[in-house]
Amino acid sequence: MMTLDQLGLSKGNTPILQNISARLPAGQLTMLVGPNGAGKSTLLSLLAGLSLPSAGGLQFAGDDTRHWTRQRWAQQVTLVPQLSQMGFPLSVREVVELGGLAHATSVVQLREATRQALADWDIGYLADKEVRLLSGGEQQRTQLARSWIQIQQPGSRLWLLDEPLSALDLRHQRQCLERVRQLQASGKSILMVVHDLNLALRYADRVLMLCCGELVADGPPDQVLTAERVSQVFQVETRLSQGYLHWL
């Protein structure tokens, strides 16, 4: 379990995140929601150890992460950032293989893990293609396959996914959610940023809602995503009908 203890982050004099306390339990899918600019990606970068908090701290199963090395972070936490263009002329296979680098894996093991990840994310037919030439959804599946190798290692405990479904078609959205369920069953924690609040209502074990850098709600989906709170935070009038949120 990861524990966030009064986390805060400022850039210059501007507070981006303030006083965030929460838990990410093992084996649970937590979805993180909030308006554009609320601080969701910034929070994920803190939880991946890519930036240091200005206040508060993070513990992993009681272990303070303050002095963790880069390699320790990469062994325990796997981040899939928001869709971004790769800057290097690598093939899909080479990008996916990068997922094994933080762990001391033999060449034979890495080759087998890569073959499996390419199949699991339905990109085997793209293995030799340069990643920069792929469509947005194909690039996203490549990044997910890279992270899939990393998060499946025995020591890896937390999978951070920043809007993983945004570029995926319906079939591959379902595939991604199936992989998430598969990973949950092995006892790992997952924190996923989503904009689709109905998806969060249906799939999340727990929902965290951020607004203006502060955690405004944390709990079971139906208790966090009430029509009243959603209308207030997202400034769109909504109502809940038959378990779905509709905007008016």
Query: Please, what is the minimum distance in Å from the beta carbon of residue 242 to ligand ATP?
Result: 27
Assigned token pair, 46: 């803190």
- Torsion angle (degrees, nearest 10) of CA 39, 165, 141, 45: 10
Report the residue number, 40 or 103, with the smaller CB distance to ligand ATP.
Answer: 40
What residue type is 142 in one-letter code?
A: T
Report the residue number, 38 or 96, with the smaller CB distance to ligand ATP.
Answer: 38
Report the residue number, 37 or 136, with the smaller CB distance to ligand ATP.
Answer: 37
Residue 207 Cα to chain centre, angstroms: 13
Report the residue number, 15 or 124, with the smaller CB distance to ligand ATP.
Answer: 15
Q: Hey, how many other C-beta atoms are within 10 angstroms of the C-beta on 162?
A: 22
How far apart are the C-alpha atoms of 111 and 99, rounded to whole Å? 11
Residues in contact with ligand ATP by CB under 6 A are 11, 16, 34, 36-42
Query: Please, what is the minimum distance in Å from the beta carbon of residue 58 to ligand ATP?
Result: 17
Query: Please, what is the minimum distance in Å from the beta carbon of residue 18 to ligand ATP?
Result: 12
* Closest by Cα among 223, 124, 141, 225 to 179: 141
Query: Please, what is the minimum distance in Å from the beta carbon of residue 32 to ligand ATP?
Result: 9
Radius of gyration of the chain (CA): 18
